[in-house]
């Protein structure tokens, strides 16, 4: 190769690298990942959606969508083709009244928050009903309009019991283990106000979207408060109705900031990293998004509820970066009902980890693993 041509190529490469570094320095947090898939339009046919509230992906790459307005779950192949559809409006086993979160456990079974029926239903991957837990109430094991669900490394189930303002934990067999939260809305340490979602990281720490307090709270898997961040607003690190939370392959925390139609990314300590999204229906825009799911490879699926579509964003990888090899899908998280933000200010970020709050625990059950 001619020396002049080689020098020119090297100069162009250096200019490209420098330009990228300048962009990252001055515009950090504003660049969206690349949209690699957009599925759905409004309707009731297979492959169409009416207010899709939640999405998760199993180990084989099949997508499960909570098609709430059509009272059903749709299973799609990795390219978006319909595999199976199940559910209808009702109260019997396998029927739904506003299905919200859909989540695959570590064994591949599918769990659905049946919001208005105040229960969690379990299905096989092809939609065969297996079992259910719950019923309306405030005692342990009962729910009042549950939303987000997630699993830890031992397949224990966590439920955001939204209008009981608490998190409940169950063994893989569905036995109640413990709860935390006072049962009444509050903004103190460990208190919650309509928590919409829950997620578990790879150390089995638990993150709660404390929605009406416009903040994220972090707990151990035994409900011990660790930290919290966020307040009501539209600046970086502030929220207007955070309705979903998920953990990526690097243990970063991603939050759907629904009222601001964006996704924000934080370190596990709550330090702001980046954000993307504005209101709209174009690429990289959202309208009342309700859920997100992150694969071990770092790809992000979003239930863009108001636009009646599912979006997939590919992780942007550096030249020498390879896909991670972490295999467990321990980041499926829930979806939230769209609500109107209140006019009051959100709760202040707790600053005293020694303050106490209510935790109810029962003996027995398969408790989760360690945490920080």
Residue 10, pLDDT score: 64
Burial 259-272 (b: 16+ CB within 10 A, else e): bbbbbbbbebebeb
Inform me whether the pLDDT recorded for 22 exceeds 70. no
What is the value of pTM for the model shown? 0.82
Residue 331, pLDDT score: 35
Residue 13, pLDDT score: 56
Q: Per-residue pLDDT tens for 275-303? A: 999 999 998 899 999 999 999 999 999 99
Q: Nearest 5°: phi and psi at 20?
A: -65, -40
Q: Do residues 111 and 120 lie in contact, with contact meaning Cβ atoms separated by under 8 Å?
A: yes
Residue 5, pLDDT score: 58
Residue 315, pLDDT score: 81
Average pLDDT over residues 19-43: 66
Higher pLDDT among residues 368 and 95, named by residue: 95
**What is the rounded CA–CA span in Å between residue 313 and residue 15?**
27
**What is the rounded CA–CA span in Å between residue 262 and residue 244?**
11
Inform me whether the pLDDT recorded for 119 exceeds 50. yes
β-strand pairing of 359-361 with 176-180:
antiparallel
Higher pLDDT among residues 363 and 81, named by residue: 81
Residue 2, pLDDT score: 66
Q: Which residues pair with 300 in a beta bridge?
A: 294, 313
Q: Look up tokens 């207010």; give the residue.
A: 51
Token pair listed for 116 = 């208005």
Inform me whether the pLDDT recorded for 130 exceeds 80. yes
Give the number of other Cβ atoms within 10 Å of residue 31's Cβ.
14
Confidence bin at 6 (pLDDT 50/70/90): low
Confidence bin at 341 (pLDDT 50/70/90): very low
Helix (H, G, I), strand (E, B) or coil at 26: helix
Residue 32, pLDDT score: 67
Inform me whether the pLDDT recorded for 368 exceeds 90. no
**What is the rounded CA–CA span in Å between residue 317 and residue 335?**
27
For residue 144, count CB atoms less than 10 angstroms from its CB and return exposed for 0-12, middle for 13-18, buried for 19 or more.
middle
Side-chain-side CA neighbours of residue 250 (13 Å): 11
Give the number of other Cβ atoms within 10 Å of residue 198's Cβ.
28
Give the number of other Cβ atoms within 10 Å of residue 23's Cβ.
12
Inform me whether the pLDDT recorded for 363 exceeds 60. no
Q: Do residues 132 and 120 lie in contact, with contact meaning Cβ atoms separated by under 8 Å?
A: yes
Report the candidate in 262, 255, 207, 211 with the shortest Cα–Cα distance to residue 234.
262
Average pLDDT over residues 46-63: 97
Inform me whether the pLDDT recorded for 316 exceeds 80. no
Inform me whether the pLDDT recorded for 372 exceeds 80. no
| Kind plus residue range of the DSSP H or E element containing 17 | helix 3-27
**What is the rounded CA–CA span in Å between residue 40 and residue 275?**
24
Q: Per-residue pLDDT tens for 105-116? A: 999 999 999 999
Inform me whether the pLDDT recorded for 371 exceeds 80. no
β-strand pairing of 110-114 with 119-123:
antiparallel
Mean pLDDT of the chain: 84
Q: Do residues 225 and 357 lie in contact, with contact meaning Cβ atoms separated by under 8 Å?
A: yes
Inform me whether the pLDDT recorded for 151 exceeds 90. yes
Higher pLDDT among residues 33 and 326, named by residue: 33
Give the number of other Cβ atoms within 10 Å of residue 344's Cβ.
8
What value, to the nearest 5°, has the Cα angle with vertex 40 and ends 123 and 46? 50
Q: Per-residue pLDDT tens for 188-226? A: 999 999 999 999 999 999 999 999 999 999 999 999 999
For residue 361, count CB atoms less than 10 angstroms from its CB and return exposed for 0-12, middle for 13-18, buried for 19 or more.
middle
């Amino acid at each position: 190769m001619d020396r002049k041509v080689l020098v020119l190529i090297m100069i162009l490469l250096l200019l490209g690298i420098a330009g990228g570094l300048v962009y990252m320095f001055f515009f950090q947090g504003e660049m969206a990942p690349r949209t690699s898939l957009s599925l759905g339009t409004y309707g009731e046919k297979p492959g169409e959606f009416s207010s899709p509230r939640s999405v998760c992906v199993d180990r084989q790459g099949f997508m499960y969508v909570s098609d709430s307005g059509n009272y059903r779950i749709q299973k799609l192949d990795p390219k978006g083709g319909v595999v199976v559809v199940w559910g209808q409006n009702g109260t019997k086993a396998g029927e739904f009244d506003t299905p919200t979160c859909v989540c695959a456990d570590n064994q591949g079974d599918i769990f659905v928050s049946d919001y208005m029926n105040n229960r969690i239903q379990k299905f096989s991957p092809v939609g065969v009903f297996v079992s259910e837990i719950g019923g309306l109430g405030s005692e342990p094991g009962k729910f009042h309009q549950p939303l987000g669900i997630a699993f830890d490394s031992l397949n224990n189930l966590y439920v955001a019991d939204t209008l009981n303002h608490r998190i409940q934990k169950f063994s893989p067999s569905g036995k109640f283990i413990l709860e935390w939260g006072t049962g009444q809305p509050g903004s103190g340490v460990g208190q919650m106000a309509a928590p919409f979602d829950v997620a578990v990281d790879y150390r089995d720490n638990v993150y709660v979207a404390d929605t009406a307090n416009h903040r994220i709270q972090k707990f151990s898997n035994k409900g011990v408060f660790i930290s919290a961040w966020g307040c009501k607003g539209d600046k970086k690190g502030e929220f207007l109705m955070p309705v979903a939370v998920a953990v990526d392959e690097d243990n970063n925390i991603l939050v759907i900031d629904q009222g601001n139609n964006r996704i924000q990314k934080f370190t596990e300590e709550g330090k702001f990293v980046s954000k993307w999204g504005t209101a709209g229906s174009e690429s990289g825009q959202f309208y009342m998004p309700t859920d997100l799911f992150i694969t071990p490879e770092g790809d992000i699926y979003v239930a863009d509820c108001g636009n009646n579509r599912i979006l997939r964003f590919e992780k942007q990888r550096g030249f020498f970066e390879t896909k991670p090899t972490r295999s467990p899908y321990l980041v499926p998280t829930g979806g939230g009902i769209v609500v109107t933000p209140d006019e009051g200010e959100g709760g202040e970020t707790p600053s005293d980890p020694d303050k106490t709050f209510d935790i109810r625990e029962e003996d027995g059950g398969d408790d989760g693993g360690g945490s920080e």
